[in-house]
Amino acid sequence: MSQQPPNWASEARWKKIAIWVTAGSFVLLIFLTFDTLSKTSVGGERVRAYSVINQEIDYRFNAQKNRFMPVIGKEAPLFGKVVTETEAEQLVTLGKKTVQSKNCMNCHTLLGNGAYYAPDLTKAWLDPNWIDAANRENLMLAFLKDPVGNARANASGRKMPNLGITDEEAHGIVAFLKWMSAIDTNGFPNNFKTLNAKEQP
């Protein structure tokens, strides 16, 4: 065991390789981070402006890209009122902060990340379970404020607890969910039939 190891197995050589590989990977990651953050800033094609909540949002199969993509449609203001970008940002921010403060992510997933005890919220705004688009907002507000009282039976027996969500916070959460449903998530989830698709196939 005392002879020198061959050159390819020498400690000094692997030390150099370790340093160069690590540094190289990290530099590439920094470069990609700048590119990704510029392509995902609010108001771009991937992550829409907050005022997208003034419009109809759908999620349909795009034959050209061969995957499901958000579709931004005609004007359809949330809660019947067209808001400015600043007002929309305030509303969505309140919603996002409420979603964090109420620890939603430890039952639900958002963009597929979180816990698996309750449904994914990525396309919650578009879910056919809200029965019809005209009543959706009110159903969502009522459910968020009193999920126990407005629970609909599901076969799993699970239900959402009352989290003391105020009327204002509920409006924020709905705005946040509508805005999030317009994010281009590269086709996740696949084959999702929206409420609109049910009404207008």
Partner 1 sequence: MSAILSNVSGKVTSLFAFTENPHLNGGQKLASKYFTVAMVLFLAQLLFGLLAAIQFIWPDFLFGWLDFSVNRMIHTNAMVVWLLYGFLGSVYWFLEEESGSEIVGLKLGVIGFYVLTIAVTLVVLVYLLIQTGPGKDASIWFINEGREYIEAPRWADIGIVVVILVFFYNVAATFAKGRWSGVSGVLTLDLIALAGLYTAGMFYLTNITADQYWWWWVIHLWVEATWEVLVGCIMAWSLMHLLGARRKIVQTWLYIEVALMFGSGILGLGHHYFWIGTPDYWFSIGGFFSALEPIPLVAMVVHSVYDAGVHKFKATNHPAMAWIIAHTFGNFIGAGVWGFMQTLPQINLYTHGTQWSASHGHIAFFGAYATINIAFFYMAVQKWRGNVWMSGDLPGNGWKWKWSIGLLNFGVLGMTVALLIAGYEQAFIERAMQGSTWDAYFAAQSHPWFREAMVWRTVFGLVTIGGLGLLIWDLMTIGKDESRPALALTHED
**Closer by beta carbon to partner 1, 75 or else 161:** 161
Minimum Å distance from CB 113 to partner 1? 6
Minimum Å distance from CB 195 to partner 1? 9
**Closer by beta carbon to partner 1, 11 or else 75:** 11
Give the count of beta carbons closer than 10 Å to the beta carbon of residue 53.
27
Cα–Cα distance, 10 to 7 (Å, whole number): 5
Minimum Å distance from CB 71 to partner 1? 16
In the structure encoding, which two tokens stand for residue 81, read together? 């009122």
**Closer by beta carbon to partner 1, 48 or else 74:** 48
Minimum Å distance from CB 58 to partner 1? 14
Sign of CA dihedral 186, 43, 180, 197: negative
In the structure encoding, which two tokens stand for residue 57, read together? 């949002």
Query: Which residues face 67 on adjacent strands?
Result: 62
**Closer by beta carbon to partner 1, 79 or else 117:** 117
